[in-house]
Structure 1
Amino acid sequence: MHTRDGTSGLRRVSRRTFLAAAGGVSAGVVGLAGCLGTSDRVRVLAAGSLAVVLEEHVGPAFESETGTGYEGEYHGSNVAMRMIEEGTKHPDVIVSADVDLLRDRLYPDHATWDVEFAANEVGIAYEPETELGARLAAGDPWYEVFADADDGEVAISDPDLDPLGYRAIHLFDLAEREHGLEGFRETMLERVYREPDEPRLLAGIEAGNRACAVVYRNMAVDHDVPFLALPDAYNFTDPTAASQYAEATYTTDDGYVTEGTPAVYNATVRADVDAPDAGLAFVSFLLEQRSLLEEHGLRVTDSLPRTHGSVPETIEP
C-alpha cells in the first residue's frame, strides 16, 4: 500500500508551483490543447461519485476552454479498474475514488503515474420526512437510528463495485469500535440495501423510498439533500487518522483486500493510450478547478495536488 506522507515516490507541491509547471492557469491549457493534433475529444472513465461535477461542470468548462470535446463515463471505481484490466474500456483519463485502488490495480501495465487532486467526506444523506430521517434531524445518534432500521431502509453503494461501498463497511466497523457497539457491522450488512449503480445511490431518498444512505458529501450537495456530517474518527477526512482508518478492512468478491483510508481522488492518463495529449490537457485543466470542485462539495486542501510515479514533464513540477 502507498502512504501519503512522502514515501513510495509521493511528492507534495504547492498549488501555485504545480500549476505554473503544468503551464499556467488558462494559457497553458490552451497551449497544451493546441498540441492535440487530430484528437478532438478526451474520453474520461471516472468514479461515479464525480458524475455530476465532471459531466455538468468540469467537462463543459474544458470544452469551452480548449475546444476539445469531453466524453465521460461513470462507474464504481472498482468496476472501472476491472474494465481497464480486462480491456473492455479504453479511456484517455482514469479517475479513481481510492488512490491505492488505482495504483494496486493499474500499475505498471496501464499507468505509471497519477495525481491526487481532491478529497471527500463520508456521511449520511437522509429524507427528513421519514421516521429515521426525522430522528437524525432531531439529533439522535446515527448509529442508534441505523440499529433500528428495517431491511432496506438504509442504502450503501455495492462494496464489491466501488470504494464508497466498502468505505460504508469500514465506517460501520470503525463506529462499532469507537462506540462499543458489539455486532454493529454485521447487523448493518444484513439490513442495508446495496445499490449497484453508484450514481443512483440517492435516487431512493429523492423518491421517498429509502430513509438514509451512506454517501460522499459532494453527492448530497449535488442532489440538494440533507447531509449528516460524522466525526473525523470515521468520516475518512483526517490524514492524521490514517492508521486508525486502516484498522477496518473488507475483501471484495474478486479478492481485493481494502483498508480504510482517507477519501482522496486521483487521476492518470492511461499508459498505453495512442494519443496522450488530450488526456494530459484534461488532467492539467482538472487541477485548476479548485473553486469549482469545492463549490460542489469536494475538498481541495493545501497539500493538493500531490504527484506519484513518473509524471510527464507537461504536468510534473
Structure 2
Amino acid sequence: MERRLLALIVAFAVLSAGCLERESKEVTLIIFHAGSLSVPFQEVEKEFSEYAERNLQIKVSFQDEASGSVMAVRKVTDLGKKADVIGVADYTLIPQLLIPNYTDFYVLFATNEIVIAFTDKSKYAEEIKDNPERWYEILAREDVRFGFSDPNQDPCGYRALMVIKLADLHYGMGIFKELIEENTNIYSNGTQIYAPKEIIANPNKVVIRPKETDLLGLVESGSIDYIFIYKSVARQHNLSYITLPSEINLGDFSKEEFYAQVSITLGSTGKTIEAKPIVYGVTVLRDAPNREVAIEFLKYLLSENGKRIFEKNYQDFLDPPIAFGNVPEELEPLVSTEK
C-alpha cells in the first residue's frame, strides 16, 4: 500500500512538473525606441527578463530596433510593422502620430538636455573648455566640422536646430544663418524653421546622420569635431561636453515660454513641432503581439527599478511619471494620470 502511494505521489509530481513546464511561456517583445534610450533600455530589459522568469514564469527576450524617434513611429504608421512598445525622445510624437489609430495612452517618464560634445581630438577643444560661451564662434570657423542627427527622423536633430535658433534670440545674433542656412538647405522665417524632406549639407562643414548615436563614432575618431547630442548620451560614452544656457538647452521647465517662440516644420511628416522642454514618452500599441507582457515590462520600467537604472545612466526620471489617455489599470499605481 505504501509503495503504491509513493508511486502515485512520484507520478503526480512528474506530471505536475510537466504541466508547469508546458505552461511556461516564451515571448519576444518587439521594442522600437530612440537611439538615446539604447543604454538604459538594455539594462531594464536584462533585469526584466530575470524578473519575469522568476516571478511570472515567462521567458522574455527582446527584439530592439533603435532609430530616430520619428522613424520609430513611422515604422508603424507608414511601414505597417508590428511592435509591442514604442519609446520616443519626444513624447508629443505619440499624440500627434499614434493616437487614436495605434494606441490610446502614453506615459511621460524621463527628461534630458542638449549639449555640445567633443573629444581631445576636436579642433579648439581646450579653447571651448575655457570659453564655452563662445561655442558658436568656434563652430563657425572654417576648419571646424560639426554634426547633428536628421531632423526628419530624430528629435535630437530638430532639437539641435531649435537650440541654434533659440541662440539667435538669447544672444541677439544671426547664429542660425551662419551655422545652418549657409551650410544646408534648412532655412528659417523668423523663428519658424523648415527642414526639407531631402536635406542637403556641405559635408566639409556639417555632417548629418539618421540618429544622434550614429555620430558618436565620428566624433570619437576625430572625423568631426563637435556634435549636438543629449547630455545623458555624452556622459554614457565618456565624451567631453559643454552645457548651454538654460534659455536654449531645452532642459529647463521654467523656460517653457521662451522655448515656445521657436518651432520647426518637418518635410518628412508635414507636422509643425513647437520647441519645449525635453520629455520622453512610451506606450504599448493597441495591437501589440504580446500586449500583456508588454504592459508588465512598462510596469517594471516605470517603477523604482527603471528610475534607478535611468539615473545610473545620467538621465533624470520623472517622479512620478505622467500618463495620458486610457491608462491600463496595472500602471495606475505608478503614474499620475492626466485627462
Query: CA offsets per residue over residues 57-100 of structure 1, 9 Å max, x none?
Result: 12111112213222211110011111110244211000011111
Mapped partners of 2:245, 2:237: distance in 1: 22
Aligned equivalent of 1:8 = none
Match of 2:312 among 295, 302, 305: 295
Aligned equivalent of 2:36 = 49
Query: CA offsets per residue over residues 87-128 of structure 1, 9 Å max, x none?
Result: 442110000111111210000001110111111111111122
Mapped partners of 1:51, 1:120: distance in 2: 14
Mapped partners of 1:253, 1:150: distance in 2: 30
Aligned equivalent of 1:246 = 260
Match of 2:286 among 264, 268, 271: 271
| Counterpart residue identity of residue 223, structure 2 | N
Looking at CA atoms only, which structure, 1 or 2, has the larger radius of gyration?
Answer: 2
Aligned equivalent of 1:256 = 271
Aligned equivalent of 2:136 = 143
Aligned equivalent of 2:118 = 126
Mapped partners of 1:178, 1:58: distance in 2: 38
Mapped partners of 2:247, 2:95: distance in 1: 25
Query: CA offsets per residue over residues 173-227 of structure 1, 9 Å max, x none?
Result: 0001100112x11322214211124321211111111111000011111211112
1:211 and 2:203 correspond:
no
Mapped partners of 1:91, 1:38: distance in 2: 19
Question: Which segments of structure 1 move beyond 6 Å, counting only runs of 4 or more?
Answer: none
**SS of corresponding position for 1:202:** helix
Alpha carbons of 1:61 and 1:316: their partners in 2 closer, same or farther (altered >3 Å)?
A: same
**SS of corresponding position for 2:332:** coil
Mapped partners of 1:307, 1:150: distance in 2: 47
**SS of corresponding position for 2:218:** helix
1:185 and 2:172 correspond:
no
- Would you say the 8 A contact 2:87–2:281 is kept in 1? yes
Identity over aligned pairs, percent: 29
Superposed, 1:51-70 pairs within 5 Å as 51-55=38-42, 57-67=43-53, 68-70=60-62
Mapped partners of 1:47, 1:211: distance in 2: 23
Aligned equivalent of 1:9 = none
TM-score by length of 1: 0.83
| Counterpart residue identity of residue 70, structure 2 | N
**SS of corresponding position for 1:71:** strand
Mapped partners of 2:69, 2:124: distance in 1: 30
Query: CA offsets per residue over residues 285-308 of structure 1, 9 Å max, x none?
Result: 111211210111211243x31111
Aligned equivalent of 2:152 = 160
| Counterpart residue identity of residue 261, structure 2 | E
| Counterpart residue identity of residue 214, structure 1 | F
- Which shifted more, 238-247 or 90-99? 238-247
Deviation, structure 1 residue 166:
0.2
Report which of the two has the higher share of strand. 2
| Counterpart residue identity of residue 51, structure 1 | S
**SS of corresponding position for 1:70:** strand
- Would you say the 8 A contact 1:155–1:214 is kept in 2? yes
Query: CA offsets per residue over residues 132-166 of structure 1, 9 Å max, x none?
Result: 32221222421221222546x10101111110000
1:198 and 2:212 correspond:
yes
| Counterpart residue identity of residue 264, structure 2 | Y
- Would you say the 8 A contact 2:158–2:264 is kept in 1? yes
Number of residue pairs matched by the alignment: 278
Query: CA offsets per residue over residues 6-32 of structure 1, 9 Å max, x none?
Result: xxxxxxxxxxxxxxxxxxxxxxxxxxx
| Counterpart residue identity of residue 186, structure 1 | K
Alpha carbons of 1:195 and 1:274: their partners in 2 closer, same or farther (altered >3 Å)?
A: closer
- Would you say the 8 A contact 2:85–2:288 is kept in 1? no
